[in-house]
Amino acid sequence: MFKLLSSIKKDVRILLRDKVGLLLMFLMPILLAVVITAIQNSTFELVNDNKIPLIVLNRDTGEAGKQFLASINDAGIFKVMQSLEVDKKPDFAAMMKANDALVAILIPEDFTIRIKGKAKVVAAKALKSVGLEGDSLSMEVQVDPLTMMYHPVMQESFRQSVHGALKSAVSLVESKQILNSLYLKLNDEPMPVALENEILHNTTAINQVPVSRDGSRNVPNATQHNIPAWTIFAMFFVVISLGSSVVREKLNGSFLRLKTLPSAYFISLISKQITYLIVTLIQALVIFAIGVWIFPLIHLPALNLPNDLFATFVVLLICGWCAVSFAICIGVFAKTQEQANGIGAVSIVLLAAIGGLLVPSFAMPDSFSYIIRLSPLHWCLEAFYGLFLEGGNLKDIMMNLLPLLAITILFQLITIWGLRKKNLI
Amino acid sequence: MAFMNFPAVRIENLSFMYPGQAHHSITGINLTIAAGDRFGLFGPNGAGKTTLMGCMTGILDFTDGSIEIFGEKVSRKNRSFCSVLGYVPQEYSFYQELDPLENLEYFGAMSGLKMPAIKKKSEELLKVLGLWDVRTKQVEKFSGGMKRRVNIAISVMHEPKILFLDEPTVGVDVQTRFAIMDYLMELNRRGTTLVYTSHQLAEAQNLCNNFALIDQGNIIAHDTLEHLLAAHEAEGLEGLFIKLTGKAYRDSDV
């Protein structure tokens, strides 16, 4: 035990003198967690609170144009700015830039005429289909498509949401015109406003409820997603300090000196694992504490810790052990510190990417479904999500922890094989 | 002291081949080093000195032949021989991030010493080797000579009965070399067997009382200097060395 404690003491001393390693292990993931959460949070706020800046150039003087404009306003997600541009070929790019708009839409001059024409045709067809005589109308009335201009920074999913909202607004205008047309034909008088509202605006609401295993209804936010993800990233980033430390010991001959002493090298290996496992736990504690107490102070959503804190500790322990095992493995096979740092950093980013830390795994192509499972970070993240987002307990996440343990043991075996092959133990 | 009944080192039919190589680095070595000897092992580059040293210290795992250190078999499984053995590698084999005291504390513990003994021995060694005043300074900032002395101090923390030294004075100034040599002589007077290898033949001539020349993996000569010089009609160790190993480069193959 004295040998192990002395070895841990030595590792802690070396670690505390590795200022760059400490910075990388603590400051970098904290910055990442804060910055990425802030960015994602502002994206959510952009959609939920701030509204999307939209320029509408309404060349239509009829009621359909006004109705469309009103529907866009009613959608509640747009900050509508009306343009009075009279140029026949308006410069939308300049307009959007001048107004910081993300989207612009042009309502053409004949919008009302065409919408009404289309409504009459549809109404006539409907009446004819139920055996009532409608007006004999040309069946060729078409409404030209509206054009939505958007800023290239808008991502596909966000753009599709905007497109969907605009489409709903157009549908509402068209439905209103068709209903009015039908009502007029059948009753020879315009539809009462109350009835119109009843039909068009009294739609069935869709409630949004997050599903969790413990029955809680906490709405997941950017913090709940980002803190676990960047904590895992931080834990695996010990590869920079620990991998280099193992390489230094190989290069400076400490390993060989240990071979001539009456101590098993496994003491040194175990001491490194204990020391850095404690480091990973401290990392998690610091990042979680920032999420719980500091985030609200900087106007970010606070982190809600899982109900099952014991399960959270178990996940942290296994994630930490896996991260440490990976780092030692890299250190054993790297020939120089530069190699260990380069391979370590790149491999962590790659494993994070395929593990779903950078892009959600459900958004990845099908061909990635097997590769994802090879990343230990994926299993760590799934276990954390099971606790943080789904309110699960230890039993619920066991199927994530078992593969993680298997990968960890594999790293350990590869390390021992590498040490034997290189005649270091 | 039962171990004094045995020779310090007994090697029988030792051969060693590095993995992936076609030829043995050392072949059929038989060698005995008496307890209390100051034994010098010499040879040109690539002759097999480091390999033989590696086998004797248990760093290399050999399969052909046997080695005993004070009667204890050297093998991967049996590490009991390590408690009587000290090794001063050519490289600075310690933690440059730590200070001398911290290095001695760690390696002392790994050698099997307890804290009171570590403290006592550390103070004694650092004072003898002129490092006491810098005991809490990071070794990284030390000169080459100071680092060499730290290297030696670590190796003798547990008072080994046999000390293997691989070029212990390479790259140090004259003062440090004299200090190290004096300290090694003092160790030997207290009963420590020295097994020394170096290219500093003049230094070796002053230190060692027994010599072996190794070339192309074989011991080609082994005796006291007087007997070797007489047998080969050579003048001095350097003359003997050239006479037995020739003048051709030995490390041109890579």
User: Span A40-49, mean pLDDT?
Assistant: 66
Tally C-beta pairs within 8 A across A and B: 82
pLDDT at A1 over 90: no
A207 within a domain of the structure (yes/no):
no
Residue A12 has pLDDT above 90, yes or no: yes
Quote the pLDDT of residue A136.
Answer: 58
Are residues A18 and A68 in contact, defined by beta-carbon separation less than 8 angstroms? no
Contact assessment for residue B93 and residue A251, using Cβ atoms and an 8 Å cutoff: no
Q: What is the pLDDT of residues A235-259, one digit of tens each?
A: 998 898 899 889 988 888 888 888 8
Question: Which residue of A245, A251, A260, A272 is the best one to mutate when testing the B interface, meaning the one whose CB has the most B CBs within 10 A?
Answer: A260
Return the bridge partners of B32, or none. Answer: B10
Option in B57, B87, B94 nearest A254 (CB)? B94
Dist. CA B140–CA B149, nearest whole Å: 13
pLDDT for the residue numbered B251: 64
| Residue A107: CATH number of its domain | 3.40.1710
Least confident of A202-206, A258-262, A337-341, A352-356: A202-206
pLDDT score recorded for residue A379: 93
pLDDT at A133 over 60: yes
Closest-CA distance, B149 to chain A, in angstroms, reads: 16
The Cα B104–Cα B125 span in angstroms is 10
> With 80 as the cut, is the pLDDT of residue A367 above it?
no
A186 occurs within a structural domain: yes
A408 compared with A306, residue with greater pLDDT? A408
Residue in B58, B91, B98 nearest the CB of A13: B98
Q: Please check the confidence at residue A127 and state whether its pLDDT lies above 90.
A: no
Tokens in use for A402? 């078992």
For A260, which of B58, B80, B138 is closest by C-beta distance? B58
Residues of chain A contacting B98 with CB distance shorter than 8 Å: 10, 13-14
Give yes or no: residues A394 and A270 share one domain: yes
Yes or no, beta carbons of A262 and B60 under 8 Å apart: no
Which residues make beta-bridge pairs with A106?
A57, A147
pLDDT of A44 reads 65
Q: What is the ipTM of this complex?
A: 0.85
Put simply, the answer to whether B92 touches A2 (Cβ < 8 Å) is no
Q: How far apart are CA A383 and CA A368, in angstroms?
A: 19
Best of A18, A244, A261 to disrupt the B interface by mutation (most B CBs within 10 Å)? Answer: A261
Contact residues of B toward A, CB < 8 A: 57-61, 79-80, 82-83, 85-87, 89, 91-98, 102, 105-107, 109-112, 114-115, 138, 154-155
Considering the domain boundaries, does residue A267 fall inside one?
yes
Residue B195 β-bridge partners: B39, B164
Number of compact structural domains in chain A: 2
Minimal Cβ distance to A2: which of B89, B97, B114: B114
Confidence of residue A218 (pLDDT cuts 50, 70, 90): low
- Angstrom distance (rounded) from CA A372 to CA A350: 11
CB contact under 8 A, B59 and A262: no
A209 assigned to some structural domain: no
pLDDT bucket at A140, cuts 50 / 70 / 90: low
Tell me the CATH class for B2-245.
alpha beta
* Mutation target among B80, B97, B166 for the A interface, most CBs of A within 10 A: B97
* Cβ–Cβ below 8 Å for B138 and A423: no
Instruction: Indicate whether A286 belongs to any domain.
Output: yes
CB contact under 8 A, A6 and B95: no
Q: What is the largest CA-CA distance in chain A?
A: 106
Residue A47 lies in a domain: no
On whether the CB atoms of residues A100 and A161 are closer than 8 A, the answer is no
How far is Cα A373 from Cα A407, in angstroms, rounded to an integer? Answer: 10
Question: What is the pLDDT, as a whole number, of residue A257?
Answer: 86
Of B61, B82, B110, the CB nearest to A3: B110
The mean predicted confidence, pLDDT, of chain A is: 85
Q: Where are the domains of chain B?
A: 2-245
Distance CA A265, CA A7 (A): 10
| Spatial CB neighbours of B130, under 8 Å, sequence gap ≥ 6 | B149, B179
Q: What is the mean pLDDT of residues A22-37?
A: 85
Please tell me the least confidently modeled range out of A171-180, A197-206, B44-53.
Answer: A197-206
Q: Which residue has the higher pLDDT, B40 or A21?
A: B40
- Which parts of chain B have pLDDT scores under 70? 1-4, 247, 249-254
CA distance B160 to B86: 5
Contact A324, A277 (CB under 8 A): yes
The predicted structure's pLDDT at residue A48: 58
Instruction: Write down which residue in A201, A231, A261 finishes a domain.
Output: A201
Tell whether A165 is covered by a domain: yes
pLDDT digits (tens, 9 = 90+) for A66-118: 988 988 888 888 888 988 877 778 888 888 888 888 899 988 888 888 888 88
- pLDDT band of residue A23 (cuts 50, 70, 90) is confident
Residue A45, pLDDT above cutoff 70: no
Picking from A7, A245, A247, A257 by the largest number of B CB atoms within 10 A of its own CB, the best residue to mutate is: A257
Residue A308: which domain range? 2-42+215-421
Q: Tell whether A30 and A86 lie within a shared domain.
A: no
**Does the residue A210 lie in any domain?**
no
The gap between the terminal CA atoms of chain B, to the nearest Å, is 46
